[in-house]
Chains A and B, each alone.
Chain A
Amino acid sequence: MSPRKRPGRWTSISLRQTLILGSVLCILLPALLLGFFQIITTFNERIYLEARLPLQLYADLLSNGVVAAVWNIDQEAAGEQVNAIMLIPDIVSVTLTDQDRKIFASGNNSTLSIKRLLREDREVLHKGEWIGHITMVLSMDRIYSDVQRALTKLGATFLAQIVISIVFIWIFFERCIGRPLKSIQQEVIRIAHGDFNRPLHWGRQDEMGNLILGLNKMRKELAILTRDREKHIVDLEITRELLEKESAHKEEREKLLSTILEALPVAVFAKDIQKGFQITIWNKKAEELTNLKAQDYIGKYDSDFFPKEQADYFRAQDIEASKSHSVIEIPEEVVQIPKGVMLFHTKKIVIRDPNGDPKFLLGITEDITQSKQVAVALLAAKESAENNARIKSRFLDIAAHELRTPLTAASLLLQLTQMKLTQGCPVQVATLMRLSAQLSQLSHLVVDLLDVSRLERGVLPLTRKPTDLIALVSECLDNFSLQAPNQPIEFKKPEYKIELNIDPVRICQVVSNLIDNSIKYSPENMPIEVVIKKTKTIKSQKPLESVRISVIDRGPGISEKHQATLFKPFARGAADSVTGSSGLGLGLFICNEIITLHGGTIGVKSKLGAGATFFFELPQISVA
């Protein structure tokens, strides 16, 4: 590329001006040269014709006349000739000299200007011999003046011709070139400013016409192109706006996606399959779950952070998932992470590129460590609740059965009594006693049920008062001597008095229950032992004085398995319900609760076939 020229003073001249100036110069310069040459020629010709030629002619005439009249002999004749010459206008002086350079005739016109003079020297020869010398001086002023006038006229004419020529050239250029050029220029300016609606008209089929036609065609093409361009610009603008909107939308969507990703309550991660399962996404929850920061983990591999065995496990899972076309679910995976051993529920799915090749492996992981623990606890609670419900349901069956049995007996006894009375037979006392016993049994069952209900609600009140324990137990035993006169009971008691702050009714209830059970399971005539003695128990790592009351029977004994549930409510086994054991099975539970309320303990020692020892211990707190 050539360096750009700086605009000079000539570059600002328009083409029209240049053409006109050029044309004028083309005409003017030859005209000036021609004029100058003509003036010089005219001047020289006029000088020659009006000055030099006449002067030579006069010299010739004088020379010939003088010689003819005998040179310097007839000075008068010479003088006349000289005077005659002097009559000629513009002759300033005439001098005739002889061989000795002696003036013998002369004339002088002093009125003439002598500013510009022309001198003519002529030697006079006679028969080949120099006989004298003629000197003539001519004033050039008038001739110059005439020539000057003539030249002025000539110059004026010339100038007039030039001016006319310029005017004609101007008009010509203006009409043929200037005006169309100006129009073209304005058109080009209009086109440059985007105005394509004014076509140029030029009537002639010359080059200018062709140029304007071409320009018009170009204008039309440009108009179309411009319209297209404007349309394209509009389209481009619309496209640009759409792209901007799309870009903003995309950005917003990406931002939203990123926010969602970070806010998700599950760990989300992605691995680049083509880069050997390199981590590319690691959200906030994943950070929380693993204590591995995204900034540290992204771009790395499992093997960089996890123990080899764990990393190998992940890799095997990833490889398997990347071959699959569906979601791979790992319901429970034990993961060793810096935080510790955790239980994860993970789903993995392959994201493929448009060619269907595996690109990313997306993983979603939930920490189910706690929920699993909760689920296990819930399951246990559910099983426990169901078990309790089953136990209670069975208990209700048992309770209903146990209530219906004395009720049936009582009902039948009443119907029998009624029938006998109707038939006029006497009612036997034994029948009424049987009826009373059945009602008493019903009453006991109802009391037990009420006690259990109160215990479950925690509203079983104790009415403590200082009580002589030995007297209390003796009183209980007396009742049994009436109820079961055939059952021998041995009472082993200390010699000293034991006074405790207890609820005597409730403690009597416990003692009676234990004795009642023992009687029920003891073979006939085998004695039951009731033993009271002081003992020491360790409570809250402190030795505590207490009293132990034991009821010992020689019955079939109780298995260890059965012992474990003896003191629990509603815990009678299914076998009991069909083997015929009567009662609600609540007695020992109630005993346990009463003793616990007294701050004591209850228990059993037994072996199958070796009898059973039921005992309870009451703390011996000083009676205030």
Chain B
Amino acid sequence: MTTTSNQKTILIIEDDKTILFTIKELLKIEGYEVHTAENGFAALELLESCPLPNLILLDMKMPIMNGWQFAGEYLAKHDHKAPIVVMTAAADAEQRAKDINASGWVSKPFVFDNFLKMIKKHER
């Protein structure tokens, strides 16, 4: 991961390719550098080789390694160095965020402006 000095980096972990692509495009417009992973396992591999992002956007329900499993592994290794914001389509989004000790949560579907405020609030 290469970053310019003021550019914030966000890691999106999401299995739905369309959502992943769209958020990435939107955040890029907002000036973020965006990295993506389609499951928890791919994200952990990415984090091994790159510096920690300023924020991790995490979907919970994913194949191969889901959000809970990822959070467990990530927090064990990196603590809260990069805050996690949970993105979920589940009804109990807040509970899911508490489950993994995340910094924030956003419930799908969401308005991008609000989503952006949430990112700005929690990013390092």
Interface residues of A (CB under 8 A from B): 397, 400-402, 404-405, 407-413, 415-416, 419-420, 423, 434, 437-438, 577-581
Contact = CB atoms under 8 A, between A and B. Distances in A.
Interface string B74-103: 000000000000000111000000000000
Nearest to A435: B18
A578 B59 CA distance: 11
Contacts of B23: 412
Contacts of B15: 580
11 contacts: A404-B89, A404-B109, A408-B19, A408-B89, A409-B16, A412-B18, A412-B109, A412-B112, A580-B39, A580-B62, A580-B63
B89 A401 contact: yes
B18 A419 contact: no
A410 B66 CA distance: 23
Nearest to B69: A578
Nearest to B109: A408
B6 to A, nearest CB: 21
Contacts, number: 74
A456 to B, nearest CB: 22
Interface residues on B, range: 20 to 34
Interface in B92-124: 108-112
B16 A405 contact: yes
A405 B107 CA distance: 11
B25 interface: yes
Nearest to B21: A434
Contacts of B112: 412, 415, 419
A420 B30 CA distance: 12
Most buried by B among A405, A419, A579: A405
B12 to A, nearest CB: 12
A540 B20 CA distance: 54
A282 B61 CA distance: 68
Nearest to B22: A412
Contact of A419 (B29, B39, B62, B63): B29
Contacts of B25: 416
Contacts of A408: 16, 19, 89, 108-110
Contacts of B42: none
Contacts of B110: 408, 411
Nearest to B23: A412
B61 A419 contact: no
Nearest to A407: B109
B68 interface: yes
Nearest to A428: B25
A409 B22 contact: yes
B66 A409 contact: no
B26 A404 contact: no
Contacts of A578: 60-61, 66, 68
A408 B66 CA distance: 19
Interface in B46-79: 60-64, 66, 68
Most buried by B among A402, A416, A423: A416
